[in-house]
Chain A
Amino acid sequence: MMQFMLLFSRQGKLRLQKWYEAHPDKVKKKITRELISTILARKPKMSSFLEWKDLKIVYKRYASLYFCCAIEQQDNELLTLEVIHRYVELLDKYFGSVCELDIIFNFEKAYFMLDELMVGGEVCETSKKNVLKAIAAQDLLQEDEIVEMALRDIGLI
């Protein structure tokens, strides 16, 4: 099971964090800090895996963003890389060639996307099409609501 996923920039700024195992905030911060510095210190030619405490860390860099996942000992590292890649593909499709700024300004969308892909640390939907469909449907629902609310505010309905 995936324990957590972190997205951070080359400058070490956290862009997204998802914890599938509950920790107190202090612990989360400590883990994040440690991992970011360890990973940023690694040379580009190194393998994407490292052992960290009793977890395995799988990370990959896409442009200026590092995607970093912590998995348990028996988990498959390559599969985790695929999950990361799948997530990046989804973001790319949704935002249209995604960049760091997209994730900064629409961080909630990035979370929603991740929630469709993974639930409780396990892959939930492997079909890209289905994920995007669900996200689109929810966006639509939201838009309808906003229009409705706006109209109600103005007093039209």
Chain B
Amino acid sequence: MSCSLLCRLCIVGGGPAGFYTAQHLLKSHPDIHVDIYERLPIPFGLVRFGVAPDHPEVKNVINTFTQTAQHKHCCFFGNVNIGRDVSVKELQEAYHAVVLSYGAEANRRLGIPGEDLLGVYSAKDFVGWYNGVPCNKDLQPDLSSDTAVILGQGNVALDVARMLLSPLDILKKTDVTQPSLEALAASHVHKVLIVGRRGPLQMACTIKELREMVNLPGTKPDMVTAEFEGIAEALKELPRPRKRLTELLLKAAQGSAGSAQATRQWGFRFLRSPVEIRPSSDVTRTAGIRLAVNRLEGSGENAQAVPTGEVEDLQCGLVINSIGYRSLPIDATVPFDPHKAVIPNTVGRVEQVAGLYCSGWVKRGPTGVIATTMNDSFDTARALLQDIEAGLLKLSTKKLGSKAIVTLLEKRGVNSVSFLEWEKINAEEVKRGGRAGKPREKLLDVEEMIKIAKT
């Protein structure tokens, strides 16, 4: 910016997209101030609530986000629900620009009979349960049956499989919540089938996660050899990442992984789409799943699954739907594409609304890892900075920023939580975890979080 007018910006959503967008904006000019609004009292979004407990290294990004939150021109406001406590319009009046980075809080539905039976859960809720998302604490997933079927073969599906089958010795040293740990300790699930619509060459998970399954102590793979016909021959044409992934998969399928005495089994099933979840005879819970058998049209990443007309039944008492998260509209004034479930935008500029931007999953859809979101957030920040340079944000109009919003929150009886107050919650979680040999014991109750924040 050629003249130093104060620029007040705010971000809706305190997860990776929100923090990386803030980071890039703050770094670029000393007169930019960024406020981050987050619905929960605590920050970090899916880094805390999505990344598996046994992947603590992936959570190291929290350190760089903490530095951003502590930047003198950054202010975090937790426990503020934009769309309910404060409208997006009110944010636009208080700030020169608003960035929507609130992610994907819902999940794609299967749309089949039996989806709402006891024993069927979305991966979003199951992951939320073992990761301590407050609204999932009462999920009480039914782990009493022998076999679980996971629909979808992405990395989230593999995380769920690993959490269901990991030895307790490993899990008890992670930040998995104590109630979930106890439930998993009492689990009867011994076999996990991970089901995909297409074939082995279209599997969406990546090699690190597959390697973890292959090396999981106390388990062995259980695959159907016939499903791998022709795969070995296709290897030499494949790009290196897909080739290495497929080689590892073939090795597992040939039964050279895992120990013969292992009592827990995991396996993939390919070319299967769910058509119905079948109830027990007393109709109270899940007893099985009916799958349509597919064939592939085309090959490679763009191959399509086409039903053959055949079906197959599998017995199971637990079904996890891992076919994707889904964003929701925040506010009637913000455009939303209900089909793609994203905010319509061009490089992060919300279509037809000046001064409104978006980053992360609500912008691109719910795929990719933290670093994908990082680059996406930097792209949005760059577009916003370009617009500032081009004089599109009318910096000469003074904006009140958080002063205006805090006034509204007080009037409406909303108690926001600061970053310093989050650090009190953090310290309490680490203290409780230390007593149990865990990195932290997550608080599960919003009221308790606020109570500790305000002591």
**Is B one of A's binding partners?**
no
Binding site for B on A (CB under 8 A): none
Binding site for A on B (CB under 8 A): none
